Amino acid sequence: MNKKYWDGLPVREGETSRQAHCDLPEGTYERELGREGFFGPVSHMHHKHPPTGWSKWEGPLRPHAFDLTKLHSEAISPWLAAPLFYNRDVRLRYWTLNQNMEYLVRNSDGDELLFVHEGEGDLYCDYGHLTFRDGDYLLIPRGTAWRLEVSTPCSFLMIENTDGILTLPDKGFAGYNAIFDPACLDHPKINDRFLSQQDENSWQIYVKRTGHISKVTYPFNPLDAVGWHGTNMVLRVNWRDIRPIMSHRYHLPPSVHTTFLGSGCVICTFVPRPVESDPGALKVPFFHNNDDYDEVLFYHRGNFFSRDHIEKGMMTFHPCGFPHGPHPKALAKSMKDPVKETDEVAVMIDSRRPLKMVDSIWPAEDRDYVNSWKNPGDA
């Protein structure tokens, strides 16, 4: 992501702003055309009309919105929750668990990242015991055996990085402790709760490999570690630990909110923050073509200030190939009466390769979402 694609200064043509996302020419709408997920070459167009001001859409390439709470997602095992989006690098599931898991699971296809949308409970794994609550990320390395016990009903966004390793991003000149201090990362403990669950009863591990499930039976609990050391482990961090990078004079791109990097994917977390206060700065996400990545957003809580009719537990999908950005009412409000701060929490998954959708997700779709960018007078 640090490649230097072009030497020299940007070219200017026609009427432009002096800087991106600031002091736009009167009556214009800015559109960013960027490569490599906000890290590559970029240009900014100034249009007479909103880049999302379409009047009709035909064909499969369109923005989608899904209410995942309408899906039948309850299952005793994560492997019984069908992938909703997938490609060779990423698999996204929505999983609801209302009872304790009675066996162990192991993903031998890739690292697993669980975002706890609702509920709380306990994770038992090869590395020990760890509690979890809503808003936690649980990073489970490939090959780890684990199970969950729930204190309250739980739902999870599951992000599998197939044949990849999820890591923290390089924070660059912001420094090692920026965004969230790595000291906030918690790991499982070999504590009394972990030791007390070790027994000599029969246990099963359901292992997923190349999408197929094998069941391995042991005459004892395989979570029988008495200690460990190393750098490969389960990790936990909560969105409440994230302190986002901000600028009061410039609307920063989504890439500054990167939480994890994977093979072929980037995972970002949007958390509450002050809105830009400079009079000339954009105060909502800019119209943009992210022309190398598909974008998925999962809405955890709060009001997503650039979107209409989006509730918690919903997911939007913007395939690359068309511009997207704020809805008309949100854009108009940002110009006349902007909010002082956001209260949204959302998880964004950008995928380098095109994502496919399973048929079971269609009953949860808001078919009118593609029309939500129309001006009210055009509806």
Instruction: Please tell me whether residues 257 and 199 are part of one structural domain.
Output: no
Give the residue from 239, 262, 288 where a domain finishes: 239
Q: Are 141 and 161 in contact (CB under 8 A)?
A: no
Q: Are residues 151 and 191 in the same domain?
A: yes
CATH for 263: 2.60.120.10
Q: Provide the total of helices (H) and of strands (E) in the chain, helices listed first.
A: 2, 20
User: Rounded to 10 degrees, what is the CA torsion of 62, 258, 134, 138?
Assistant: 110
Q: pLDDT 10s per residue in the chain (379 long)? A: 455 555 667 888 888 888 888 888 898 988 888 787 777 778 888 999 988 888 888 888 999 999 999 999 999 999 999 899 999 999 999 999 999 999 999 999 999 999 999 999 999 999 999 999 999 999 999 999 999 999 999 999 999 999 999 999 998 888 889 899 999 999 999 999 999 999 999 999 999 999 999 999 999 999 999 999 999 999 999 999 999 999 899 888 888 899 999 999 999 999 999 998 888 888 888 888 878 899 999 999 998 766 767 899 999 999 998 888 888 777 787 777 788 898 899 999 999 999 999 999 999 999 999 988 876 555 4
Predicted model pTM? 0.92
Q: Which SS3 state, helix, strand or coil, does residue 169 take?
A: coil
Domain containing residue 251: 29-65+244-378
Give the span between the Cα atoms of 265 and 252, in whole angstroms.
Answer: 20
Strand partners for 130: 123
What integer pLDDT is reported at residue 139 of this predicted model? 98
Structural domain count of the chain: 2
- What DSSP letter does each residue of 238-295 carry, written as one string? EGGG-B----TTS---GGGGEEEEETTEEEEEE---BPP-STTB--SPPEEEETT-EE
Tokens 């690292």, located at residue: 111
Structure tokens at 291: 């022309």
* Distance separating alpha carbons of residues 236 and 131, to the nearest angstrom: 9
Residue 269: partners with Cβ closer than 8 Å, 6 or more residues away: 239, 242, 257, 259, 345, 346, 347, 348
9 in any annotated domain: no
Distance CA 96, CA 148 (A): 12
